[in-house]
Chain A
Amino acid sequence: MSIHAFTSESYSEHDRTEAWQDVLGGFGLRSSPLSARYGEHATALSRASLDGVGLMRFAAGPQVFSPLPRRADLPILLMPAEDGAVLKAGGSPQTIPSGRIILLPRQNDWRVTFHRDMRAIVLSVTAESFGGRKINLPECRDAVIVAPEGLADVLGRTLESASEALEKLSPEAWNTIRLSLAEMLLTLSRQKSSSAAEAVGIGTQPALLQRIYDAIERKLGDSDITPARIAQIEGISERYLQKLFEGSGDNFTHYLRERRLQRCWADLGNAGEAHRSVSDIAFSCGFSDAAHFSRSFRDRFGLSPRAFRQQQAERLSGLGVKAGQRGWPQDAIAQLRPHRAAPMIAAAELEPADLAPRSRDKPAHHHLPIDANHVHWGFFSRELKPLIEIASGDTITVETLSQHASDDPERMILGDEGAESVFRWTAQGKGVERRGAGPMDASIYGRGAGEGFGVHICTGPIAIKGAEPGDVLEVRILDMVPRPSRNPALKGRIFGSSVAAWWGYHYDEFLTEPKPRESVTIFEIFPGEEPHAEAIYSYRWQPQTDPSGVLHQTYDYPGIPVAAETIRRRHGVLDGIRIPLRPHFGVIGVAPREAGLVDSVPPAYFGGNLDNWRLGKGAAVYLPVSVPEALLSIGDPHAAQGDGELSGTAIECSMTGTFEVVLHKKADHAGQPFADLTYPLIETETDWVLTGFSHPNYLAEFGAKGQSEVYAKSSLDLAMKDAFRKVRRFLMNTRGLSEDEAIALISAAVDFGVTQVVDGNWGVHATLSKRLFANQTTR
């Protein structure tokens, strides 16, 4: 009996596919690529006993499963957690609804195709799993999708809960569960076996249903298709047809819509169909109303048909497909270009200076001042139009604002033209309307446009010329200076704010009344010798009515101007305490590869809200580029923060940074510390700091639900595992150590610390001192 946790993050790029095949092989499965994205990520947790019961839950990228030929045994059970997998076994393809059990014979010819990121549960039981009892193997020739009724329903639920609890089950509990699982699978496969069907004479039903499926497939483009017409074709009554569908756990209308959407999905992603318009494709699949189609498609797949098509095109263009090979032809991409979706925010036009041709011999210096048109607030998106394009090696000065400046507008906004433009908010509207990745109409909570699902004011994005997915972007902080108050009465002084907020680690366990409460502390920053911060006053958050008239009981939306008369300032707080400064940027990130808007709060592979105070002057972060031109954004400036960022914020203080940005093309990575980089890597003068997260790629791991699941499922234990795997990989790949050497070294010399426990995707970082290798001359 053993519990095995697998993640592709442990392996170097070359070894990932093989390692994943090994894991699948244990369950009689084999995987083949669906696209070049294959092997990008996979995580799995499995538990197996020696007698042959294995249960695994996993998440992975698009791919095709087929059987690893084995001797006859009980069928493999697969249960996808998301819609859209397609089973092909002999006849026409069947889509597999989420949560449905599929029984897959170990030898026959079948394929299960996952077109998108997927999560699923797999159960493997062998004839030896029954405590020595001899069993007659049910004859399972065909792969079947089982309707969720009776035993299948019970088994499905058991699998779900058992796979969730896999790590926590005691050996005894696991023993009981694995026996039950084996028995249930045996009974279910007997019920569904070919011999049983023939014996009781119901073999005609599946055959008939199969013919109906085929008929539907042929008529998919016919927008007038009805159950009556299909029934007529097959010479049965409409009622019987409906009954057959019910028996399969589906209904005609749903099945038909699903098949149509799936076919559109395939066509939209197919390079060969690139010349056809979206509505053309919709029409050919039986949708008569383009708007209705667009809505249904978005409901089903989470993005519009157009956005999906663009995503596919860009994904492939980023892969550098060579002419003459299979896949997307170059000319199709060219045709798609004019159809690019409109930028999501109206960004300023490129500055004239940047359009002027200049010598590439010398690095240029750029300046990105703060302004409502130069920021995106609370989200990242690959669809944002860049403000400026710079070349590798250029330097750029970027002004950033703390989203907490509005905690004391008099000190941190007033008189500051740039800050005023960003924070402008009157009854008529805002300088920056969208704040967060939520809906613009605030239809979820009514907090405001974007719903505050993401809070950071990010300056950018900055396009890096020639950057492509697979490259690494080095962002080095040459200088950082705080942004002094422009209020004439306070001119030149520097202020910051720290909020003990409802998302803080402490929030559900206050000792003193009132419980709970939010508290804001305003600090003054003294950057001179022995740079430090001192608290000026604090106040408890009081319900604030924003200029649009929305009442905010808690700090639930960024940039709400706090009205001085609504709060009571307490002076003399943190008396005699001087907080040593650690100026750094909380947020440095490139655009994630996933489409749509991504909440700025949880950090992940693309960087973002790292909240690591080591990322200050002199330090650099290496980020894996995921989209063309990288799209770099910077924000969330901090004057000081502790490891943990316990209350939810640091001393948030507007700052201006000067950065050197260097693009490392994929071809030049060999032998570099950032070779095979799939996460943000921080370099300081003395250390390498590797960033581990609860869920290193939560957007892929959880699929469409990622942006909420990551908040629910964060844990330091998971983040610690991730940090360990990353530092092991780093030592093995970039230092050429064996696994044994790497582990000995980690134990003796690598320090693991808590980065933050407040950003949804909790972080643990591993600090590796450069001194360890000071003696190495090679490598």
Chain B
Amino acid sequence: MKHHLLPVSPSNVQWGYFSKKIAPALTLKSGDRATIETLTHHANDDHERMIAGDPGAESVFRWTKEHKAIARRGAGPTEGPFIRGSGEGVGVHLLTGPVAIENAEPGDILEVRILDVRPRPSCNACHAGRCFGSNAAASWGFHYHDLIEEPKPREVITIFELDTSGEPYAKAVYNYRWTPQTDPDGIVHPTIDYPGVPVDHRLVQKRENILQNVRVPARLHFGTMGLAPAESDFVSSIPPGYTGGNIDDWRAGKGARMYYPVAVPGALFSVGDPHAAQGDSELGGTAIETSLTGDFEFILHKNRDLGGTIMEGLTHPMLETDQQWSMYGFTFPNYLAELGANAQTDIVNHSSLDKAMRDAFRKLRRFLMTVHHMSEDEAIALMSVAADFGVTQVVDANWGVHGSIRKNVFMCT
């Protein structure tokens, strides 16, 4: 077993997409561990608190008229003229990786154990050691066309501080409404339509004393973890799918294990979209987006060894915690295959919890029948009396419902 380190740097991250075409930032063997740094793509909502003085973050977010450290942001076109910028923001998450696993082949399952998760403290002298995050109530939020106060519609950024002195919690520092921002290349962003646009704090009005005395219990986790899909060379990081990606389940934190079907040789694992806290549904469009560092262990399960394990017949991401297993249902289990050529933009028009519930039901039924050898009638009876279905997210285009079954149900097997 070897322990690797993967810090953030322009060469160790890709921005807004998964791709089977990019060279691995790290190659390791099954059983190896790695400490992986991740950055939130919302750090530029408050550059002073979340980027300034942090060499890793500064190197990734660097963007001047002359130099944009990471030009491509998203799976969109990289040839101008641009509407929003290179990659067009079709996918927004800063992902560290990819990590290649030796001998991984399509059909295998990659198990990723999250051993530890830590926040990334500010390096700015004024805020040294303190940890901050940003929440955007954005245009892709569930609430956006259903606002009741004026002005409508509007996007709002709320900056939180994470307090880890005791039982960790987050507390709001201030908020502001998004105003049109001009990026260093001269493109105006009337809404939050491209990741990493530096927000000019002279153009926004900060409101302090918000969410007074409200403490949000921390749930440190990674919103986006997954493998490169096989279908396209560049796949938007926004909609989650059969190889994982932007699942946005807060249970993917310390102690959790995720299982992903391998779709391309080497598996190509990437991680990002770190969150300090999120509710089931991620209603406003984002969590408390906070840069985090994780310790991971990677275990490759070869296809031939899957029989008789909980991974038998697995074709979708699955979570295991000490208490439960969760199956991830989506509006489209594999939207890339189901929606064809325009899948990555088309998916937004099809979002539905009803379809995601249907998918979660099918996946959990399969799990109980295949892995726990139940008859269909037993599986259905058990699901009704002991399985819990929850809303994972309603903001990532391919909406999610997770179906969970507690492990203590099986205690006496």
Interface residues of A (CB under 8 A from B): 2-5, 10-11, 19, 170, 498, 500, 504-506, 509-512, 517, 519, 521, 533, 535, 538, 573-574, 576-580, 640-651, 715-717, 720-721, 724-725, 728, 737-741, 743-754, 757, 764, 769, 771-777
Whether the pair B215, A744 counts as a contact (CB closer than 8 A) is no
Nearest CB on A from B311, distance (A)? 20
Which stretch in B69-77, B106-114, B137-145, B258-266 binds the other chain?
B137-145
Name the contact of A750 in the complex, choosing from B148, B160, B177, B281 (C-beta under 8 A): B281
Considering the complex, give the chain A residue whose CB is closest to the CB of B137.
A743
Q: Mark B280-293, 1 if CB is under 8 A from A, else 0.
A: 11111111100000
Whether the pair B215, A771 counts as a contact (CB closer than 8 A) is yes
Whether the pair A743, B284 counts as a contact (CB closer than 8 A) is yes
List A contacts of B406 (CB < 8 A): 580
Q: For the complex, what is the distance from the CA of A519 to the CA of B380, rounded to whole Å?
A: 9
Q: By DSSP majority rule, is chain B's interface helix, strand, loop, or mixed?
A: mixed
Q: A505-B357, A579-B382, A741-B211 are in contact. List 8 more A-B contacts (CB 8 A).
A: A498-B385, A506-B380, A519-B381, A644-B389, A716-B353, A744-B137, A752-B283, A757-B357
Whether the pair B135, A744 counts as a contact (CB closer than 8 A) is yes
Q: Mark B219-248, 1 if CB is under 8 A from A, else 0.
A: 000000000000000000000000000000
On whether A751 and B280 interact (CB within 8 A), knowing A578-B411, A724-B146, the answer reads yes
Q: Mark B400-413, 1 if CB is under 8 A from A, else 0.
A: 01010010111111
Considering the complex, give the chain B residue whose CB is closest to the CB of A777.
B213
Whether the pair B409, A500 counts as a contact (CB closer than 8 A) is no
Nearest CB on A from B176, distance (A)? 10
Which stretch in B13-21, B54-62, B336-344, B369-377 binds the other chain?
B369-377
Is B175 on the interface with A (CB-CB < 8 A)? yes
Considering the complex, give the chain B residue whose CB is closest to the CB of A768.
B279
Whether the pair B409, A577 counts as a contact (CB closer than 8 A) is yes
Nearest CB on B from A767, distance (A)? 8
Query: In the complex, how many residue pairs between chain A and chain B have their CB atoms under 8 Å apart?
Result: 245
Q: For the complex, what is the distance from the CA of A533 to the CA of B386, rounded to whole Å?
A: 10
Name the contact of B216 in the complex, choosing from A11, A509, A764, A772 (C-beta under 8 A): A772
Q: Top 4 A-B pairs ranked by shortest CB distance?
A: A747-B284, A647-B384, A751-B280, A643-B388
Is B203 on the interface with A (CB-CB < 8 A)? no
On whether A650 and B211 interact (CB within 8 A), knowing A4-B145, A753-B390, the answer reads no
Whether the pair A728, B143 counts as a contact (CB closer than 8 A) is yes
Nearest CB on A from B394, distance (A)? 6
Name the contact of A535 in the complex, choosing from B175, B381, B383, B391 (C-beta under 8 A): B381
Q: For the complex, what is the distance from the CA of A558 to the CA of B412, rounded to whole Å?
A: 34
Name the contact of A642 in the complex, choosing from B135, B217, B277, B384 (C-beta under 8 A): B384
Considering the complex, give the chain B residue whose CB is closest to the CB of A649.
B384
Name the contact of A579 in the complex, choosing from B156, B172, B217, B409 (C-beta under 8 A): B409
Residues of B352-382 whose CB lies within 8 A of A? 352-354, 357, 361-362, 365, 369, 374-378, 380-382
Name the contact of A748 in the complex, choosing from B135, B362, B411 (C-beta under 8 A): B135
Residues of B138-171 whose CB lies within 8 A of A? 141-143, 145-149, 154, 156, 158, 160, 170
Nearest CB on B from A737, distance (A)? 7
Whether the pair B217, A771 counts as a contact (CB closer than 8 A) is yes
Q: For the complex, what is the distance from the CA of A764 to the CA of B380, rounded to whole Å?
A: 20
List B contacts of A754 (CB < 8 A): 357, 389-391, 401
Nearest CB on A from B241, distance (A)? 20
List B contacts of A580 (CB < 8 A): 386, 406, 408-409
Whether the pair A642, B376 counts as a contact (CB closer than 8 A) is no
Name the contact of A506 in the complex, choosing from B137, B214, B352, B361 (C-beta under 8 A): B361
Q: By DSSP majority rule, is chain A's interface helix, strand, loop, or mixed?
A: mixed
Considering the complex, give the chain B residue whose CB is closest to the CB of A496.
B385
Whether the pair A3, B145 counts as a contact (CB closer than 8 A) is yes
Whether the pair A579, B284 counts as a contact (CB closer than 8 A) is no
Whether the pair B280, A753 counts as a contact (CB closer than 8 A) is yes
**18 A/B residue pairs, CB under 8 Å, sorted by A:** A11-B148, A512-B375, A519-B381, A521-B381, A577-B409, A578-B412, A646-B389, A647-B383, A647-B384, A724-B146, A728-B143, A744-B284, A745-B214, A748-B135, A748-B160, A748-B279, A748-B287, A771-B215
Whether the pair B282, A747 counts as a contact (CB closer than 8 A) is yes
Q: For the complex, what is the distance from the CA of A769 to the CA of B383, rounded to whole Å?
A: 26
Considering the complex, give the chain A residue whose CB is closest to the CB of B366.
A511
Name the contact of B357 in the complex, choosing from A3, A170, A535, A716 (C-beta under 8 A): A716
Whether the pair A744, B143 counts as a contact (CB closer than 8 A) is no
List B contacts of A775 (CB < 8 A): 213-215
List B contacts of A4 (CB < 8 A): 145
List B contacts of A724 (CB < 8 A): 142-143, 146, 281, 283
- Give the residue among B283, B383, B406 with the most A Cβ atoms within 10 A: B283
Whether the pair B386, A747 counts as a contact (CB closer than 8 A) is no
Is B210 on the interface with A (CB-CB < 8 A)? yes
Name the contact of A747 in the complex, choosing from B148, B285, B376, B388 (C-beta under 8 A): B285
Nearest CB on A from B238, distance (A)? 16
Whether the pair B279, A747 counts as a contact (CB closer than 8 A) is yes
Is B278 on the interface with A (CB-CB < 8 A)? yes
List B contacts of A740 (CB < 8 A): 137, 149, 154, 156, 158, 175, 177, 210
On whether A511 and B385 interact (CB within 8 A), knowing A773-B213, A775-B213, the answer reads no
Considering the complex, give the chain B residue whose CB is closest to the CB of A720.
B353
List B contacts of A777 (CB < 8 A): 213
Q: For the complex, what is the distance from the CA of A358 to the CA of B149, rounded to whole Å?
A: 51
List A contacts of B149 (CB < 8 A): 738-740
Considering the complex, give the chain A residue whose CB is closest to the CB of B351.
A717
Whether the pair A640, B148 counts as a contact (CB closer than 8 A) is no
Is B387 on the interface with A (CB-CB < 8 A)? yes
Nearest CB on B from A549, distance (A)? 30
- Give the residue among A517, A538, A724, A754 with the most B Cβ atoms within 10 A: A754
Q: For the complex, what is the distance from the CA of A720 to the CA of B387, rounded to whole Å?
A: 19
Name the contact of A717 in the complex, choosing from B352, B361, B385 (C-beta under 8 A): B352
List B contacts of A774 (CB < 8 A): 215
Whether the pair B217, A745 counts as a contact (CB closer than 8 A) is no
Nearest CB on A from B304, distance (A)? 26
Considering the complex, give the chain B residue whose CB is closest to the CB of A758.
B384
Q: For the complex, what is the distance from the CA of A720 to the CA of B391, rounded to whole Å?
A: 9
Q: For the complex, what is the distance from the CA of A647 to the CA of B382, rounded to whole Å?
A: 9
Nearest CB on A from B386, distance (A)? 5
List A contacts of B362 (CB < 8 A): 509
Q: For the complex, what is the distance from the CA of A737 to the CA of B409, rounded to whole Å?
A: 41
List A contacts of B177 (CB < 8 A): 740
List A contacts of B278 (CB < 8 A): 747-748
List B contacts of A509 (CB < 8 A): 362
Q: For the complex, what is the distance from the CA of A579 to the CA of B286, rounded to whole Å?
A: 35
Whether the pair A743, B143 counts as a contact (CB closer than 8 A) is yes
Q: For the complex, what is the distance from the CA of A11 to the CA of B214, rounded to whole Å?
A: 23
Nearest CB on A from B411, distance (A)? 6
List A contacts of B365 (CB < 8 A): 506, 511
Nearest CB on B from A331, distance (A)? 43
Nearest CB on B from A734, distance (A)? 13
Whether the pair B210, A741 counts as a contact (CB closer than 8 A) is yes
Whether the pair B215, A641 counts as a contact (CB closer than 8 A) is no
Whether the pair B284, A646 counts as a contact (CB closer than 8 A) is no
Name the contact of A720 in the complex, choosing from B137, B287, B394 (C-beta under 8 A): B394
Q: For the complex, what is the distance from the CA of A222 to the CA of B280, rounded to whole Å?
A: 66
Whether the pair A753, B412 counts as a contact (CB closer than 8 A) is no
List A contacts of B369 (CB < 8 A): 511
Whether the pair B388, A642 counts as a contact (CB closer than 8 A) is yes
- Give the residue among A651, A725, A740 with the most B Cβ atoms within 10 A: A740
Nearest CB on A from B278, distance (A)? 6
List A contacts of B380 (CB < 8 A): 500, 504, 506, 519, 646-647
List B contacts of A651 (CB < 8 A): 385
Whether the pair A10, B280 counts as a contact (CB closer than 8 A) is no
Q: For the complex, what is the distance from the CA of A743 to the CA of B170, rounded to whole Å?
A: 15
Q: For the complex, what is the distance from the CA of A645 to the CA of B386, rounded to whole Å?
A: 9
Whether the pair A512, B376 counts as a contact (CB closer than 8 A) is yes
Considering the complex, give the chain B residue whose CB is closest to the CB of A4.
B145
Whether the pair B387, A644 counts as a contact (CB closer than 8 A) is yes
Whether the pair B382, A577 counts as a contact (CB closer than 8 A) is yes
Nearest CB on A from B128, distance (A)? 25
